[in-house]
Amino acid sequence: MQRRFRIGTRGSKLALIQAHMVADHVGRVLGLAADVACEIVTFKTQGDIEQVRNLSEIGGKGLFTFELEEALHNGGIDLAVHSMKDMPTVLPDGLVIDCILEREDPRDAFISTKGASLAELPRNAVVGTSSLRRGAQVLSKRPDVTIVPFRGNVETRLRKLADGVADATMLAMAGLVRMELEDRATAPLSPDEMLPAVAQGAIGVERRTSDDEAARILAHFHHAESGLRVAAERALLKVLDGSCRTPIAALAEISGKRMSLRAMILTPDGKEVIETSRDGLASDAVAMGVDAGGELKSRAGPHFFTSV
């Protein structure tokens, strides 16, 4: 009898869309309908439950993964689908992510009825975001702006904006595209305006290292170029020991056999910004990330991250 794969996911609309994308891929590999090949199992993570405080205050990225990884370990699910920007750089023993779907638009979306861009917002405007990375980059360009916490899923944050809690917010373009809400974006923010989060727009599939059948199936739809880009950015993040407490931004792009990597660290108030870039062979993705991360760490000095 054909094995039915149990796919674990958070329960938000966007997370379910992403889980069904993976189920569709698995079904195609097996020559079966997605709902025959897979069962979707939803989890409420601590990060979903806590909707008030910033992630930096309550434990960081692992808050979105712990329950899923526990279920993987104990056999409750076979695969876990993650937004890679939510993933810690070190995975639990016995688990691996070796399947990255083709990356969606990694940029941030600017959303506002008060201005067509960040530069056009009125003086002393209020920007809603719980991302230290977004907040720090906003403040580096617009120190007059007030940042207020903005937690919740895509629909919740759009509703808060409509209710006047803030004059503007930013969301990942990838999420808006997957939810067919890209028309809600006032404008995408170029990487020069807002460098994205590490691995933003990328979906990863986590499995048990011992599950050879899952490995074989996932290999059919791993997107190699996206995997290299994510590997470079996450290698940089790992060197910096990055978490939700640290404003870190990075974007790797590939053209032919070449990769370019831009990276930035900031203080949360946006007053200190340290940037670097690399260009090299895409096959050297991890080495480029490690090298760029090492430079940023060296230039920042020992007190930069402790002060953060």
Tens of pLDDT, residues 11-21:
999 999 999 99
Of 44-53, 161-170, 196-205, 273-282, the poorest mean pLDDT is in 44-53
Please name the fold of domain 234-307.
Double Stranded RNA Binding Domain (3.30.160)
Please calculate the CA angle 23-25-27 and round it to the nearest 5 degrees: 70
Of 87-96, 121-130, 237-246, the poorest mean pLDDT is in 237-246
Give the model's pLDDT for residue 49.
47
- pLDDT value at 44 more than 90: no
5-101+202-222: in CATH 3.40.190.10: yes
Question: 51 and 28 in contact (C-beta within 8 Å)?
Answer: no
Rg (CA), the chain: 19
Give the model's pLDDT for residue 58.
46
Query: Three-state SS for 186?
Result: coil
**Average pLDDT of the chain to the nearest whole number:** 91
The residues annotated as belonging to the active site are 86
- pLDDT value at 57 more than 90: no
Amino acid at 136: A
What mean pLDDT do residues 284-303 have?
93
CA distance 183 to 134: 21
Domain ranges of the chain: 5-101+202-222, 108-189, 234-307
- pLDDT value at 306 more than 80: no
- pLDDT value at 91 more than 50: yes
- pLDDT value at 55 more than 70: no
147 is written with which tokens?
Answer: 């940042």
**CA distances from residue 245 to 108, 133, 159, 170, 237 in whole angstroms, order as listed:** 19, 9, 26, 18, 12
Judge if 108-189 and 234-307 fold alike in CATH terms: no
Contacts of 4 (CB under 8 A, 6+ apart): 36, 37, 38, 39
List of E strands, the chain: 5-10, 38-43, 79-83, 95-100, 108-112, 126-128, 146-148, 168-172, 187-189, 203-208, 248-255, 258-266, 273-281
Please name the fold of domain 108-189.
D-Maltodextrin-Binding Protein; domain 2 (3.40.190)
Question: 18 and 178 in contact (C-beta within 8 Å)?
Answer: yes
Give the whole-number percent of the chain exceeding pLDDT 70.
91
What mean pLDDT do residues 260-264 have?
98
